[in-house]
Amino acid sequence: MQAIARLRNCPTSPRKMRLVVNNIRDLDVEKALNVLKYSRKEAAGKVEKLLLSAISNWQQANEGMQAEDSELFVKEAFVDSARMLKRFRPAPHGRAHRIRKRSNHVTIIVDSRLGVEEIAEAPVETETTNNEN
């Protein structure tokens, strides 16, 4: 069972946000959180919070299952362009230059590597001995 989290109208350019999101795609959740925590990019903080929200959404949808035991990973992560604020800045000789303040939408989909049946069964590992003579 997968869970989705979306961040809408984030006031960062899509190009800068994609640099961060591309680093966590197809990673395990724990590893992705570590990558985001130690990243120097400003956008990493916003993506980290969004990933935590996706994990929480997965736990709400799958009550009784632990996120640590189910091997969660970032199934999909993508950035789309959002609205653009257009402003003008004075330029030489009485002209004006257009400034485009971009924003974006980020979507993260988290899923379990194990099937739902495998998680529910929770196999208990026991030691077996082979007595081959």
pLDDT digits (tens, 9 = 90+) for 69-119: 889 999 999 999 999 999 999 999 999 999 999 999 999 999 998 865 555
Q: Confirm if 107 and 80 have CB atoms less than 8 A apart.
A: yes
Q: What superfamily would CATH give domain 3-121?
A: Ribosomal protein L22/L17 (3.90.470.10)
pTM of the model: 0.82
Least Cα distance to 79 among 23, 130, 1 occurs for 23
Predicted local distance difference test score (pLDDT) of residue 128: 54
Q: Show me where the domains of the chain are located.
A: 3-121
Q: Is the pLDDT of residue 125 over 70?
A: no
